[in-house]
Structure 1
Amino acid sequence: MKTLRLTALAVLSTLLFSACEKDNFMEEQDAATKSAKGNTPAGTYTVTVENVSTAYDFFEAGAVAIPDGASEAGPAFPGHSFTFSFHAGPNHKLSFATMYGLSNDGFYSPADGGISLYSGGAPLTGDITSEIMLWDAGTQVNQMPGPGNPHNGADENGVVRSMMDANTTDMYDYGTVATNLKATLMYHGHSMFSVTVEVLEAATTAISPVAWVVHGDGQMPIFTEGMADYGMGLETLSETGNPGPLSHHLAMNSGYVSPIAPVLWVLHDKKDMPLFTEGMPDYGLGLETLAETGNPGPLYESLMAAGYETGFQTGPNAPPIFPGEMLSFTIEGHVGQSLSIASMLGVSNDIFFSTGEEGIKLSNGDDPKDLTHFIELYDAGTEVNEYPGAQTQANTVENGNVRVVNDGMPWPDPSNIIKVTISKN
């Protein structure tokens, strides 16, 4: 898959940028402007493009509270299990936590950096029990685990550490992970996985509902070994079995994040469709490269060769535009010309922002106009889509048509990612 490579984009020195309007947001033209129509620019326009998306920390998160086969929320006792499903790509890892029920603040979890879900670009499957450890949250002094545990230990004010380390001082028997649990990872295609955590018949404890999160490599979303609890809900889960506060925190900080790739602009007559025709295959002039890699260069060269006024932004402040960033640029044109733009949605296969096949008309209005509602997400039809944000190396040729994206997957509303304004100088 030829998706946007952020490191490559960061060093692109010939990137273009612009933005636009779709219909006639104003149609007033004075006599001077009318006489200037043709090859003489009537003036300059400033276009500003802003990435208004939320810079989420993680990708997906949730909780499972009902044991498999049950009808109500509660713990999973020996012989029962929890199963949860999620999407993930090769750049993602999985972390989760579930309470060792008959303890004060013990919980099962992978290491603080999570579990790798792919190897060499291929999804992993099978028994992942060896990836799981029993941890001490360090929030309550341990007491003898088991049915008689009073759960009234004093505040510990400690750090998260493996229960094996804790046992060097308290000497309690929690059993082993391998005798208590079996965890299995399954892949279902289309970037979807599931994990089943089974409590074995010989287990020394039940486990609580599970909080889980899909995150980037190098992140430690639930805890950091040797550090105090973050105060985001792990204490509640490890002491009471309630995953709600932790899963809420993780979910509120999880979601789709994408940069806005370099933006190509082109001025043209209203009858022209220089970038694409909706419902038809890509012209083969460079839109595929823009939509799949974020590089507008080939399309720019094609438009220049065809005699169009076109351009892109260059220099150290060129796109990609990350959440919270913006970029402005200036174009020259005259009232009545149409302006079209195209820019890849960075974390996708071949999805791009555009003003549509006909573009938008330049007007004579001096006040800045918000054109965001004219921007839509288009599918170039050149590469089969994958779950938004879960990038693999599928590279499946589609041989489809350019169209507004409508494949049933949860693509973001364009207005949640991009804001475009234009004003006549």
Structure 2
Amino acid sequence: MQFVKFKRPLGLLSLMSVLAFSSCSTDDDGEMAVNDSAVITVENIIEGKSLSQSGTFQNAGSSPVLNPGESTSFSFYAGKGQTISFAAMYGNSNDLFFAPANPGIKLYQDNGDPVTGNVSSQIRLWDNGTRVNQPTGPAVTHPGDTEATPKNIIEVALSTPASQLLKAELTFEGGTKFTLKLTNTSGGTANETPISAGVWTVSHSSGSTLVKEDPIFTPGKLSANGLTDLAETGKVTALTQYLTGITGPNSPFSPVLVVVYSGNESPVFKTGENDRGQGLKELSQQGNADVLANFLKTKSGVKEVFVLKDPANTVLKPRIDGKNGGKVSQTISARKGDRIALVTMYGQSNDWFAATTNNGVDGSTRGDISSIMGLFDSGTLVSSYPGAHIGSQPAQTESLPVQQLANPNPFNTLPSLPQMIKVTIQ
């Protein structure tokens, strides 16, 4: 049997040589290795909420009701521009309730100093508009007759002003923490009454604007969201469920720093080690990634550095009213053995940041890597409640090791990182 030798056309051989050369590169050891490109995408998937905090209050005794002479208090966090709102039933009525006028009790003076002391003058009395009003007093029949057609909420006045029936006192606890004490002072007045348990709220702020100025009720509109139960019966369950549903984070993420590197340790930071003075402080405090990016570009073993800014807003905003959150993408060049890391400031904080844990991911990794993201404290500023972190004075500096935050953190429970930030490599 004869074997026939086939010759490849010269053009085909040349093309194969070009393809082979273009798909490979020589590494530092002189070996040929595939040099892959991929697209990394980072998206803010926080479902932005209207309220930073909400809760309930009641008498600490056997009954939740505040009788004349009795007090209760609750603590909360609020930054400059934020206010405190609350509502509680005027017990000797069919559907009246106490609440400050919207957007709530002011917590900081115009010069930035916290408000303290008696703030009772801001308390009003409101008619829920769902029950026919009997004369207020212990003879009121509950629940009473319903209005044939529900009426809009309006402010009402009794012979004794609301501010003399319910006393409100603010104490500033330091940082951005306040305590509000409520005392039933109606005893001996013409309008003596028990006061029910109640609800309270603190809205997120966006710059100088509150995200929700009317979280509990809107004068001139019908009662909604469980307020009727509170105004008619003093029960807080339905309204609390509604408020809980609109309470949570509303944080942006700063421009995202992405770095491709080689080595056994991340060049960005190391847990248990203090800030290196290379730019992590600026990123975690101000969202400025440029300082750290410029340093990393000079560091041995770093192959690529990018700062990804949302084209519309620079920062990556959360999802709001069903609209997608901020999203950035970048083509990177990384192969097996390289490492990929990223870091971005958690905007509603003093110095927290989200980052890939440990030593990032291998350069050949593809798919969703959100599960390896962690939330860290850079240890450069004293932490405060996320979403209520801008107080009357700048946050105090500190010098502590970088640490990954537990969840719950010292202030609240945030969604897990994969529920707040999505990172994919394709």
Shorter-chain TM-score bucket reads: 0.7 to 0.9
Cα distance in 1, alignment partners of residues 310 and 120 from structure 2: 50
Gaps of 5+ in 2: 1-19, 205-209, 320-324
State the partner residue of 2:382: 384
Q: Does 1:180 align with 2:165?
A: yes
| RCO comparison, higher one (Cα < 8 Å, 6+) | 1
- Normalising by structure 2, what TM-score? 0.82
C-alpha distance 89-121 of structure 1, shift in aligned 2 (>3 A): same
More moved, 56-65 vs 319-328: 319-328
Cα distance in 1, alignment partners of residues 309 and 377 from structure 2: 26
State the partner residue of 1:202: 188
C-alpha distance 256-314 of structure 1, shift in aligned 2 (>3 A): closer
Contact 2:25–2:34 (8 Å) recurs in 1: no
Cα deviation for residue 153 of structure 1 reads 3.0
Cα deviation for residue 42 of structure 1 reads 1.0
Corresponding residue to 1:82 among 66, 72, 79: 72
Contact 1:260–1:319 (8 Å) recurs in 2: no
State the partner residue of 2:11: none
Contact 1:63–1:244 (8 Å) recurs in 2: no
Contact 1:106–1:238 (8 Å) recurs in 2: yes
Contact 2:42–2:422 (8 Å) recurs in 1: yes
The alignment partner of 2:93 has SS state of coil
State the partner residue of 1:394: 394
C-alpha distance 304-411 of structure 1, shift in aligned 2 (>3 A): farther
* 1:122-180 CA distance string (max 9 Å, x none): 3222111101011111222222111222242331521111103xxxxxxxx45222432
After superposition, residues 20-419 of structure 1 pair within 5 angstroms as 36-37=26-27, 42-65=35-58, 67-68=59-60, 70-73=61-64, 75-119=65-109, 120-151=111-142, 152-155=144-147, 156-164=149-157, 173=158, 175-200=160-185, 201-203=187-189, 204=191, 205-216=193-204, 217=210, 219-229=213-223, 231-306=224-299, 308=302, 309-314=304-309, 316-317=311-312, 319-324=314-319, 325=325, 326-356=327-357, 358-363=359-364, 368-391=366-389, 392=391, 393-406=393-406, 408-410=410-412, 412=414, 413-419=416-422
C-alpha distance 322-285 of structure 1, shift in aligned 2 (>3 A): same
The alignment partner of 2:180 has SS state of strand
* 1:263-304 CA distance string (max 9 Å, x none): 111111123532123222222121111111111111111122
Cα deviation for residue 32 of structure 1 reads 10
Cα deviation for residue 31 of structure 1 reads 12
One-letter amino acid matched to 2:315: P
C-alpha distance 278-147 of structure 1, shift in aligned 2 (>3 A): closer
Cα deviation for residue 36 of structure 1 reads 4.9
One-letter amino acid matched to 1:208: S
C-alpha distance 335-178 of structure 1, shift in aligned 2 (>3 A): closer
Contact 2:123–2:163 (8 Å) recurs in 1: no
C-alpha distance 82-314 of structure 1, shift in aligned 2 (>3 A): closer
The alignment partner of 1:320 has SS state of coil
More moved, 324-333 vs 289-298: 324-333
Q: Which has the larger radius of gyration?
A: 2
- Normalising by structure 1, what TM-score? 0.82
Cα deviation for residue 255 of structure 1 reads 1.4
Cα deviation for residue 356 of structure 1 reads 3.6
Cα distance in 1, alignment partners of residues 317 and 309 from structure 2: 16
State the partner residue of 1:167: none
* 1:34-69 CA distance string (max 9 Å, x none): 86545987121111212222211111111123x14x
Number of aligned residues: 379
Cα deviation for residue 188 of structure 1 reads 2.4
The percent identity for this pair of structures is 33
Gaps of 5+ in 1: 1-29, 165-172
- Taking only aligned residues, the RMSD between alpha carbons, in angstroms, comes to 2.5
Contact 2:309–2:315 (8 Å) recurs in 1: no
